[in-house]
Structure 1
Amino acid sequence: MNPPAPLCRLEDIPDGDAVAARVDAPDGGYELILLRQGGRAFAYHNECPHQGRNLDYAPGRFLVRDGRLICAAHGATFAVDSGDCIAGPCRGSRLVAAPVEVVDGAIVLR
């Protein structure tokens, strides 16, 4: 079995920031938000639970501050390390996580 294809390299994401990654699938695929905190990576589907809109303010550009990801549409705020909505219109819900790991400096789906 071939190892999973890397989504990107950890070093391609500035520490404390995020990038988008496209995952191809037979049903058309989906977009993930890849976030970095030091040597750790987190991934979530690029869809706010409030109204199903993308969280980026421009394609692949996200508002990330102090370990929090902020939805550009309505200001919902999510903890980077858990995906939990900690403020805003969807408080109590969470982002849909995608399991990733860092392997030899690359972020890959598990």
Structure 2
Amino acid sequence: MSGWIDIGALADIPVRGARVIRTPAGCVAVFRTAGDEVFALDDRCPHRGGPLSEGIVHGRSVTCPLHNRVFAFETGAAERPEEGRVATYPARIEGGRVLIDAAHLARRTAA
């Protein structure tokens, strides 16, 4: 599988919010920043599985709604290294539509 998957309009994702994509291997959260950038991460915090899509988006990070762990959108790394990391997936905006890299999603599903 190659190319990019259109997951919807940028306008459908709230500013400083997220939209969830369901895959056979679990959910991916696609976030929209205040500056209209998009980032995609696993939707489960490594600590207790909290839904990151329900967290607080600030700058280029999200705070888990359960225990306040902060994850960087670019790397998926927690603010404190001992708190783990989440997988990231390439995402972009094209013509007002949000696209996610199909190859990275396929690798996730196969894992």
The two structures have a TM-score, normalised by structure 2, of 0.69
Amino acid at match of 2:38: A
For residue 88 of structure 1, report the CA deviation from its aligned partner.
8.7
Equivalent residue, structure 1, for 2:21: 22
Alignment CA distance shift 1:105-1:94 (3 Å): same
Structure number with greater CO (CA < 8 Å, separation at least 6) is 2
For residue 76 of structure 1, report the CA deviation from its aligned partner.
0.8
Amino acid at match of 1:32: V
Query: Does residue 6 of structure 2 align to residue 9 of structure 1?
Result: no
Equivalent residue, structure 2, for 1:109: 100
Show CA shifts across 1:17-56 (max 9, x none): 12232234xxx342111112324210001011223x0334
RMSD: 2.8
Alpha-carbon contact 2:22-2:28 (below 8 Å) kept? yes
Alpha-carbon contact 1:20-1:61 (below 8 Å) kept? no
**1:11 aligned counterpart, secondary structure:** helix
Alpha-carbon contact 1:44-1:95 (below 8 Å) kept? yes
Residues in 2 aligned to 1:10 and 1:45: alpha-carbon distance in whole angstroms: 19
Residues in 1 aligned to 2:79 and 2:12: alpha-carbon distance in whole angstroms: 27
Equivalent residue, structure 1, for 2:87: 96
In terms of fraction of residues, the more helix-rich structure is: 2
The two structures have a TM-score, normalised by structure 1, of 0.69
Alpha-carbon contact 1:18-1:33 (below 8 Å) kept? no
**2:14 aligned counterpart, secondary structure:** coil
- In structure 2, runs of 5+ residues without a counterpart are 102-111
Amino acid at match of 1:85: A
Matched length? 100
Equivalent residue, structure 2, for 1:41: 38
